[in-house]
Structures are given as structure tokens and as C-alpha cells.
Amino acid sequence: MKIAIGNDHRGVAFKHRLIQLLGQLGHTTVDYGAHDETSCDYPIFAFRVGEAVSSKECDFGLLICGTGLGMCIAANKVPGVRAIPGHDPVTTELGRRHNDANVLCISSELTGEELMERMVQVFLTTEFEGGRHARRVKQICDYEAARLRPTD
């Protein structure tokens, strides 16, 4: 799979570890994140990853910031993105199974390296269940599509 990865200044170290892990798992990564710890604005990176996933340039996205929450809010502004904050493997799995999440947002400050790696593996290997969940995801997508404003 091709994975878009982005981070702000607080996620640089985790990003490098994730790129290494993803390579070991046979995935390709596209790095849309900050490259050093100079303070920067996370929405820029969330939008870049969101657009790569929404356009299908990448299969999934991973975002890393201090809490994972700001990235999640920003990424969900991109049409077609269903970003979830990763708290643990169970919520990550349910986000994929029930919500067809396509972007996982991770806290660099509240998540240890082992937990982060486990959540990413769960995220990338869990299939969307479909069924009643597909109907609900479609309702979300339909709502989003009905409210998109054409750009000038």
C-alpha cells in the first residue's frame, strides 16, 4: 500500500520510526510532514495528507502531532477523509471496521512507540465491515457532498 504520512514539529521522531516500520511491512510512504522540530502549523500537513488520501494518490494517511486531535480536526475538513484519533488498538480497529476510517491521527506525547506501532498495524490490516456500517458511512458522504461549495 501507499501511505501518506504527515507530522508537525512534535511528531518528527515518530514519523521517522513509522516510515521505517512501514518499509519493513512492505508499504511505500509519501512524506508530507515537517522535517525538523522548528515550530510549525499542523493544519498544512493534515490538509496535504488528507488531499493525498481523498484523491486516491495514497491508500491511507497517518498524521502525528502532540495530541493527534488538531490533526484529526483539520484532516476531517478535506472532503472524503474520515480521520480518527488513535487512542488504542481497539478504537483504531473499530474506526476501520465501522467507520471506514482512512486517516489515523496519533499523539506523539501520549502514545508510546510500541502502542503507536501496534495501532498502525491494526489500522492497515483491518477491513471495513460494510453492512449496516456502509449505510451510515454513505449518509456521512452524502451529507458532505451536498454541502460542498464550488470553488471559483
pLDDT at residue number 152: 52
Annotated catalytic residue, options 16, 40, 87, 98? 98
Using CA atoms, how far apart are residues 106 and 14, in angstroms rounded to an integer?
Answer: 9
Exposure on the CB side of residue 147, measured as CA atoms within 13 A? 10
Q: Provide the pLDDT confidence category of residue 150 given band limits of 50, 70 and 90.
A: low
CATH code for the structural domain at 2-147: 3.40.1400.10
Cell triple for 74:
483539520
Catalytic residue among 9, 27, 58, 65: 65
What pLDDT, on the 0 to 100 scale, is given for residue 49? 98
* Residue 148 pLDDT exceeds 90: no
pLDDT in tens, 106-141: 999 999 999 999 999 999 999 999 999 999 999 999
Q: How confident is the model at residue 15 (pLDDT cuts 50, 70, 90)?
A: very high
Q: Which of 86, 95, 116, 106 is nearest to 42 (CA)?
A: 106
Summarised one tens digit per residue, pLDDT across range 49-107 is: 999 999 999 999 999 999 999 999 999 999 999 999 999 999 999 999 999 999 999 99
CB distance 32 to 75 below 8 Å: no
All structural domains of the chain with their residue ranges: 2-147
pLDDT of residue 80: 96
Distances (CA, A) of 110 to 54, 100, 123, 135, 137: 27, 24, 18, 33, 29
Strand partners, 28: 2
Mean pLDDT of all residues in 5-25: 96
Known catalytic membership, residue 65: yes
Whether the predicted pLDDT of 35 surpasses 60: yes
- Cell numbers at 52, concatenated: 493525498
